[in-house]
Amino acid sequence: MPALILTNLSKSYGNMPAVSDVSLTAEYGELVCLLGPSGCGKTTLLRLIAGLEFPDSGTIAFDGVDLRGVAPHMRGFGLMFQDLALFPHMDVYRNVGFGLRMQGVAAAEIRRRADELLELVDLAGFGDRKVHELSGGERQRVALARSLAPEPKLLMLDEPLGSLDRVLRESLQSEVRSILKEVGVMAIHVTHDREEAYAIADTIVMMDRGSLVQAGSPEALYKDPANELVARSLGVRNIVSGTLARADGPAQVVCALGTLAVGWPVPSEVPVGGDVLALIDERTVSVIPARDAITSAGSTLAGTITAREFRGGESALHVSVGDGTIVCLVVSRDAGTAAQVGDEVSVVVPPEAVRLLARGGP
Amino acid sequence: MTASRLLILGPVAFLAVFFLYPLVAILARSFSGGALGLESFSGLLGDSYYLGRIWFTTWQAALSTLLTMVLGLPAAYLFARHEFPGKTVLKALTTLPFIMPTIVVAMGFIALLGPQGLVNTALTGLLGPDTPQVRLTNTLVIIFMAHAFYNYAIVVRIVSAFWANLTPRFGESAAMLGAGRVRTFFHVTLPLLLPSLWSSAVLVFVFSFTSFGVVLVLGGPRFATLEVEIYQLTVKLFRLELAGALAMVQLVFTYVVLLVYARLQERSTVTITLVPHEAVTRRKKSWRDMLVVTGIVVALLIVLSPLWALVERAATAGGGYSTANFTGLFVNESGSYFYASPFRVIWNSIRFALASMTIAMLVGTAVAYLLARPRRRASALDALFMMPLGVSAVTLGFGFLIALNRPPLDLRGSWLILVIAHSLVAYPFVIRSLLPVLRGMPGHLKESAAMLGATPLSVFIHIELPIVARALLVGATFAFAVSMGEFGASMLLVRPEFATIPVAIFRLLSQPGASNLGQALAMSSLLMAVVALGFVVIERFRYREVGGF
């Protein structure tokens, strides 16, 4: 039985629906990530759970108790704000210990717990610092320690790493996950950054315009996105519209790139000749010199390299094929020696790289 | 929701009983003449003399405000951004003029610039008896000077409290974008300071608009403001209906000004990045900084010169320096019924000021909270709660006498009536100093505390109170000072045994004789000393307890 159960939650501001009919569950120890473009209602959902806003309809239950009418400070939840909201008039110790102080814990015990938590977030010895003396990453850790100190039953994080630089963000992402896992707390984490979602979440919940679109493990969502938005949000770059040419045997799709064999099951509602979106996995395709072209390895498309993005270990090649462009992710070493912008190449698209979505999505 | 209802109910009830009710009583008087009851108003607006008074009152207030702002800003900068020895004392001294009774301010200027004043005596002594004298009494110039002198502290206090909380990062970014010191000031710092500039400018304007003692003593009959006119009509000519009508005109005018201001202030609120004071003040001393600090300090001392003149005169008796004026205070030479020992008078002033400060803080804080949360028509409400600033103390005292004279509210014999009048005049200062900080408070701090398990009361005690503490202390300081120096209402309401320092000063002044004048000056010096001491104590307390937030 899941601990947190949201049933048909709706909330609007004036005529603007912010959250509409969202149902969701989460279990103890689960790290849930709300992912979606800004303005999709994920922060509002968080504030509803926290009790800082009241739903127009629907219920929020935790451990079987309906939370209607329970004040935020009585819920035993934690919330880490995007701007962190560290108390500027308190030092690090008093910030971290604030929640325990509110519980009436003895001063010595608060001190012990604060030290413990500062150790956990790798800030041992920072207790006497003033908030304004801390760097961005240090503030983030203090805010995390402060949120964890009262041992919330549910910790919510609202874009907690949003304001940090990339390197710091990436190192903190895995750190946040391991800290949350070590503590074993249930967490709901809001972000618009898929890397952050991948790095932290057990379960990703995609939201769009106030509604829940799809929920599942990061792998499941990436492999089988429910619609174009989910696919794009999770990083699929090759999305081409086309028509279904053959539905069984080896299925085929005709699109701007040419005719492609489809290795994944075709959505049952799409008839032959119906409109579809073809999603092509940029990692599964391969690029070979034009003269080496072999037809048997799947669909082979002739094209010209128009751009190359160097990304360290990998490079993304943009190849102009037919009337469209396909992005292929290749190992940089090969790309560096073999492929240059302007080269004529063949792109091999194996059937397992191609998946179809009904146009408009379910 | 219930708690906020209660929050609104307390101050509203207080204002209804002790402010609106007395005003309505006066209004009833102003409508009492003629068939329609409007005779006094039509007479007023058809008379070019009174229209002229209204126009004069307005433009002299505008010019006085401009002068005060220009003089006050450098000192605000000094106190917000620089540390130097003697800062606390200098800051307390700066506030002194504001808490001086207006009559004493006027006396200070006469002591300095009058025919027998320090300046003219010195000029004659240096250049011989034929030197032309500086003649400023009964001119507009001396009125402007006195208004600027009197209201200087408002600008310095409000602006420097805001400035001190402003992160220097903004100025630094401007510098990095190629703006020099001057351009940074005009394009970045000044716009950011706008809310506090408006706050102080409107207060100064309202005070200059309702100015009474200064204009009465220094201006002479040619330069009567509305307030002086009301006083003359009430006390000398006893035309209560005309005085009531004029008071209503003044009231409406001030309400409009306060309304415009509340609108402007709502729009110009910025979220303040709170930085502790130590992080903001400039520590490294370049020769340029030293020069700026020294220059402003010297200018400050010159601005304060009427106070020096006052003390110098107080310590002068019989042609030389002596303590005769001070010792004379302790002797009841004429066996007067009105005599009160200085100890008793000072003690009265202090306890009334503490009581008024407490009431003003409670009412002012509740109202500020009310106004800080977003709501429709907030500016109308804001202006309404600020109204006591626009009512003359004479009018208020008069209203108290005719409205609070029957059971169950017969307070005429009680010291409470004095404290209530003082807190009415004082609480708008608490609102004005609190509101910018409350509106600029980073939004998530309170919610964050709630999520950590803090009850609404704990949020208030642990989060809001420490953060607004500095503004709260500024408000408290003003409330205390206003009560200490309040004169108009006290004169009408006070009983001999409850005489405050300003009342005692006026009694001495109104008796003829050099020794009485000297003793009035000595009493004024004592008032200065008591208040300065109080301020230094408050400042010390603040730095230790709240760490300068």
Residues of B in contact with A85 (CB under 8 A): 442, 444-445, 447-448
Residues A3 and A61: their CA atoms lie apart, in Å, by 8
Q: Which residue has the higher pLDDT, A354 or B440?
A: A354
Q: Is the pLDDT of residue B476 over 80?
A: yes
3-state secondary structure of B404: coil
Q: Supply the CATH number for residue A268's domain.
A: 2.40.50.140
Q: How far is CA B55 from CA A42, A296, A320, B61, B395, in A?
A: 58, 97, 78, 10, 21
Return the ∠ at Cα A41 (arms to A36 and A45), rounded to 5°: 110
Mean pLDDT across chain A, nearest whole number?
A: 87
CATH number at residue B303: 1.10.3720.10
Find the CATH number of the domain harbouring A171: 3.40.50.300
Tell whether the model's pLDDT for residue A344 goes beyond 60: yes
Contact B458 A71 (CB under 8 A): no
Domain ends where: A232, A249, A277? A232
Q: Give residue B156's domain range.
A: 2-546
Please indicate, yes or no, whether residues A200 and A297 belong to a single structural domain of this protein: no
In B16-166, where does DSSP find H-type helix?
21-30, 39-45, 48-81, 87-99, 102-113, 118-127, 140-164
Beta-carbon contacts below 8 Å between A and B: 74
Q: ∠ at Cα A73 (A70, A79), nearest 5°? A: 110
Contact across the interface for A102 and B458, Cβ inside 8 Å: yes
In terms of Cα–Cα distance, which of A209, A200, A147 is closest to A33? Answer: A200
b/e per residue, A148-164, with b = 16+ CB within 10 A? bbbebbbbbbbbbbeeb
Mark yes or no for CB contact B452/A52 under 8 Å.
Answer: no
Q: What is the DSSP letter of A208?
A: E
User: Which amino acid makes up residue B222?
Assistant: R
One domain, residues A244 and A137: no
Q: A166 with A57, same domain? A: yes
- Print the domain residue range for A96: 4-232
Distance from CA of A249 to the nearest CA of B (A): 57
DSSP sequence for A80-114: E-TT----TTSBHHHHHHHHHHHTT--HHHHHHHH
Q: Find the mean pLDDT for residues B234-241.
A: 73
Rounded to whole angstroms, the Cα distance separating A153 from A4 reads 10
Q: Supply the pLDDT for residue B265.
A: 66
Boundary-marking domain end, from A232, A256, A277? A232
φ and ψ of A288, to 5 deg: -130, 155
Residue corresponding to tokens 């717990």: A113
A25 lies in the same domain as A103 = yes
pLDDT in tens, B121-177: 778 777 777 766 777 767 788 889 889 988 888 888 778 877 877 766 666 666 676
Q: Say if residue A184 is in the same domain as residue A244.
A: no
The share of chain B scoring above pLDDT 90, in percent, equals 6
Q: Total structural domains in chain B?
A: 1
From chain B, pick out residues whose CB is under 8 angstroms from the CB of A71.
Answer: 450
Cα–Cα distance for residue pair B212/B390, rounded to 1 Å: 12
Token pair for B483: 């009560």
- Name A356's bridge partners: A278
Residue B474 has pLDDT above 80, yes or no: no
Contact yes or no for A146 and B452 at CB 8 A: yes
CB atoms within 10 A of CB B253: 18
Q: Using CA atoms, how far apart are residues A116 and A107, in angstroms rounded to an integer?
A: 14
Please give the tally of structural domains in chain A: 2
A66 shares its domain with A188: yes
ipTM above 0.90, yes or no: no
Report pLDDT for B1: 45
Q: β-strands A65-66, A57-62: how paired?
A: antiparallel
Considering A232, A258, A281, which residue would you say is the last residue of a domain?
A232
Inform me whether the pLDDT recorded for A66 exceeds 90: yes
Same domain, A90 and A140: yes
Q: What is the largest CA-CA distance in chain A?
A: 77
Q: Verify whether the Cβ–Cβ distance B452 to A102 is below 8 Å.
A: yes
pTM of the predicted model over 0.80: no
Please tell me whether residues A178 and A305 are part of one structural domain: no
Whether the pLDDT of residue B541 is over 70: the answer is no
Stretch (H or E) spanning B442: none
Q: Give the mean pLDDT of A238-242.
A: 90
pLDDT of amino acid B49 = 80
Between the alpha carbon of residue A18 and those of residues A25, A48, A241, the distances in Å are: 19, 11, 31
Q: Cα angle vertex B276, ends B270, B280, to 5°? A: 80
Cα B212 to the chain's mean position, in Å? Answer: 13
Both tokens assigned to B136: 């400023």
Asked if A77 reaches chain B (Cβ–Cβ under 8 Å), the answer is: yes
Q: Are residues A284 and A194 in the same domain?
A: no
Q: How buried is residue B117: exposed, middle or buried, by Cβ count under 10 Å (0-12/13-18/19+)?
A: buried
